[in-house]
């Protein structure tokens, strides 16, 4: 139970960090007009937003690895992609947190599958042992199953 709680806590921290760390270009973050609305990218008016390391929408000079995200409408340092599940761009400033989020979710999922396989295996081997195990109640709560207390063991 402690391992699953630790993995879940790690995932929650990584998820919060990947969504709250602002991946915007440093020159854009230092600009005073960062939080004001900017014009949106329109392909009919512009072929490219960033020309010669200058973003015409953000009005700042950017690094060579920056790209303008259409979903967030801002220049992102080391732009990788816009993640719809996190509702945030993934760039060089939050890429490690994003990777940690994915890895911790996968680790937690594998841990839950391992616990479930052990419980199902024990159930098929000897179901009475499960009901007498001291971790039985917490395991039922873990999988949100109703407690079978009071039911006869067959």
Enzyme catalytic residues: 83
Candidates 49, 22, 43, 47; CA nearest to 34 is 22
In terms of Cβ atoms closer than 10 Å to its own Cβ (0-12, 13-18, 19+), residue 4 is middle
The 8-class DSSP code of residue 24 comes to B
Lookup: tokens for 17: 């960090």
Q: Where are the alpha helices (DSSP H) in 21-94?
A: 26-30
81 DSSP β-pair partners: 90
């Amino acid at each position: 139970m402690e391992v699953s709680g630790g993995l879940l806590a790690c995932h929650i921290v990584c998820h919060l960090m990947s969504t709250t760390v602002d991946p915007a270009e440093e020159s854009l973050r230092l600009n005073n007009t960062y939080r004001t609305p900017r014009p949106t990218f329109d392909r009919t008016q512009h072929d490219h937003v960033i020309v010669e390391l200058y973003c015409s929408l953000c009005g700042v000079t950017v690094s060579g690895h920056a790209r303008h995200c259409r979903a967030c409408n801002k220049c992102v340092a080391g732009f990788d992609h816009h993640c719809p599940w996190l509702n945030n761009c993934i760039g060089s400033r939050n890429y490690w947190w994003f990777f940690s989020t994915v890895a911790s979710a996968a680790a937690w999922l594998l841990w839950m599958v391992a616990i479930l396989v052990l419980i199902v295996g024990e159930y098929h081997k000897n179901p009475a042992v499960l009901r007498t195990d001291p971790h039985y109640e917490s395991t039922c709560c873990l999988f949100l199953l109703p407690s079978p207390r009071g039911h006869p063991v067959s």
